[in-house]
């Protein structure tokens, strides 16, 4: 037996049923236009099949970019406003489970620190951009349920501040506002029945994390020295929320609430602040940022720096100098996306998609393969 067996065994597994399983892989998401860059928001951006919703930024503005494992990147022409003028900037915020529906926000002015009226959109692969009917107020859609039919988000003031959350079922709106007190929704669960976000409370100078459902608003607890917190992701059953809590003494911290009970997620070694961007449907995998890098938390392994987590899971990350953050995770917790820097182009932030096929078991799998390889060689 020659050494090529070990290489082959690290690239291909056989399940108990005899089905071939591809090895974990990291892909760089390329723009469709030379010189353009790929831009991500966070949360709910990638499907179990690895389909990604993003934006492509060029000198003319931003357009919707959709990336698939098999076909790579494709872009869609921008929709037009009520005057027939194309919107210059398109920002994707969520994708349906089948990857055929993308929701987000369009504006004529840049999303980078500038104010301006926006409008929500719901794009479909089959029908393009039928704009979401909405009151004459700037607004943004932040997420969509698994079916692509229920969207959540918030109204925006003229000064680009969130002033009221909403849930849209394709026909009508339920409002968490708007009003003088800020509120907003960041993520909706897979069935579209519950959402996580933030809301101000009378007498308190900061925002509180909330869950909004048909039974009303539930305010979640915060750390003792909190300066405000928000929920950024919610599990499919609505019982688990992930988010971020800003504190006086320790900066921002990644959080997880289980049935309303608060727990602070540990940061990777050397990081002094962080926050959770997204979570798997079962609530057992949380991703986000920590210091200058990303992290992945799992109920089994705890918190791991993102590049190390991918390496432990069998991903060849040798072409990537660093993983800056993890912006989103798929509902099944096996596909990840975010920003990183490649060895060949370290000055440019690049978007990656990591896919870890089930039932891949990371380091344990490689140990088993190593033992198998040794046994084969011993018998050869």
Q: Where are the domains of the chain?
A: 284-380
The stretch 74-82 carries a mean pLDDT of 90
Mean pLDDT of 235-241: 98
The mean-pLDDT minimum among 45-49, 215-219, 263-267 falls in 215-219
Q: Using 50, 70 and 90 to split pLDDT, how confident is the model at 208?
A: very high
Among 52-56, 76-80, 176-180, 192-196, the range scoring the smallest mean pLDDT is 176-180
The pLDDT score that the predictor gives to residue 73 is 98
Please confirm whether the linkage preceding 359 is cis (ω < 30° from 0): yes
Residue 380 pLDDT level (bands cut at 50, 70, 90): very low
Between 378 and 73, name the one with better pLDDT.
73
Task: State pLDDT tens for residues 277-297.
Answer: 999 999 999 999 998 799 999
Segment 316-359, tens digit of pLDDT: 999 999 999 999 999 999 999 999 999 999 999 999 999 998 86
Average pLDDT over residues 202-206: 73
Question: Confidence band (pLDDT; 50, 70, 90) for 181?
Answer: low
For residue 103, pLDDT over 60 is answered with yes
As a whole number, mean pLDDT of residues 16-33 equals: 76
Share of the chain above pLDDT 70, in %: 81
**Range of lowest pLDDT (97-111, 256-270, 294-308):** 97-111
pLDDT at position 206 over 90: no
Query: What pLDDT was estimated at residue 160?
Result: 59
Does 230 score more than 50 pLDDT? yes
What average pLDDT is seen over the chain? Answer: 85
Q: Which of the two residues, 374 and 219, has the higher pLDDT score?
A: 219
pLDDT digits (tens, 9 = 90+) for 129-144: 876 666 545 578 999 9
112-116, 154-158, 163-167, 371-375 — which is least confidently predicted? Answer: 371-375
**pLDDT range class, residue 364, cuts 50, 70, 90:** very low
Note the pLDDT of residue 134.
61
Q: In the predicted model, what is the mean pLDDT of residues 349-373? A: 64
- Going by pLDDT thresholds of 50, 70 and 90, the confidence category of residue 16 is very low
pLDDT above 80: residue 161: no
Q: Sorting pLDDT into bands at 50, 70 and 90, what band is 163? A: confident
Confidence of residue 18 (pLDDT cuts 50, 70, 90): very low
pLDDT of residue 137: 58
For residue 5, what pLDDT is reported?
A: 30
Q: What is the pLDDT of residue 376?
A: 35
Residue 367: predicted pLDDT:
39
């Amino acid at each position: 037996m020659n050494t090529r067996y070990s290489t082959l065994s690290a690239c291909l597994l056989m399940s108990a049923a005899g089905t071939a399983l591809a090895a974990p892989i990291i892909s760089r998401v390329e723009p469709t236009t030379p010189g353009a860059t790929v831009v991500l928001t966070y949360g709910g951006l990638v499907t179990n099949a690895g389909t990604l919703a993003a934006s492509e930024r060029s000198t003319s503005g931003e357009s919707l970019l959709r990336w698939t494992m098999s076909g790579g990147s494709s872009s869609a022409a921008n929709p037009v406003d009520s005057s027939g003028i194309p919107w210059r900037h398109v920002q994707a915020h969520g994708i349906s489970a089948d990857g055929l529906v993308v929701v987000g926000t369009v504006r004529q002015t840049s999303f980078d620190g500038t104010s301006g009226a926006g409008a929500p959109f719901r794009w479909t692969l089959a029908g393009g951009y039928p704009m979401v009917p909405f009151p004459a107020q700037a607004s943004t859609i932040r997420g969509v349920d698994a079916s692509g039919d229920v969207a959540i988000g918030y109204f925006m003031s003229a000064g680009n501040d969130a002033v009221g959350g909403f849930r849209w079922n394709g026909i009508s709106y339920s409002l968490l506002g708007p009003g003088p007190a800020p509120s907003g929704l960041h993520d909706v669960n897979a069935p579209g029945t519950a959402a996580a976000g933030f809301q101000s409370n009378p007498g308190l100078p900061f925002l509180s994390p909330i869950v909004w459902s048909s039974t009303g608003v539930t305010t979640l607890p915060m750390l003792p020295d909190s300066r405000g917190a928000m929920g950024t992701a919610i599990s499919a059953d609505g019982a688990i929320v992930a988010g971020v809590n800003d504190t006086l003494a320790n900066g921002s911290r990644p959080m997880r609430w289980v049935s309303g009970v608060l727990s602070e997620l540990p940061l990777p070694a050397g990081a002094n602040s962080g926050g959770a961007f997204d979570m798997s449907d079962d609530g057992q995998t949380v991703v986000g940022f920590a210091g200058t890098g990303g992290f992945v938390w799992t109920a089994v392994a705890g918190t791991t720096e993102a590049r190390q987590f991918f390496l432990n899971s069998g991903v060849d990350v040798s072409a990537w100098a660093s993983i800056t953050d993890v912006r989103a995770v798929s509902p099944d917790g096996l596909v990840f996306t975010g920003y990183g820097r490649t060895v060949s182009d370290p000055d440019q932030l690049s978007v990656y998609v990591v896919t870890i096929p089930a039932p891949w078991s990371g380091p344990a799998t490689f140990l088993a393969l190593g033992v198998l390889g040794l046994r084969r060689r011993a018998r050869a």
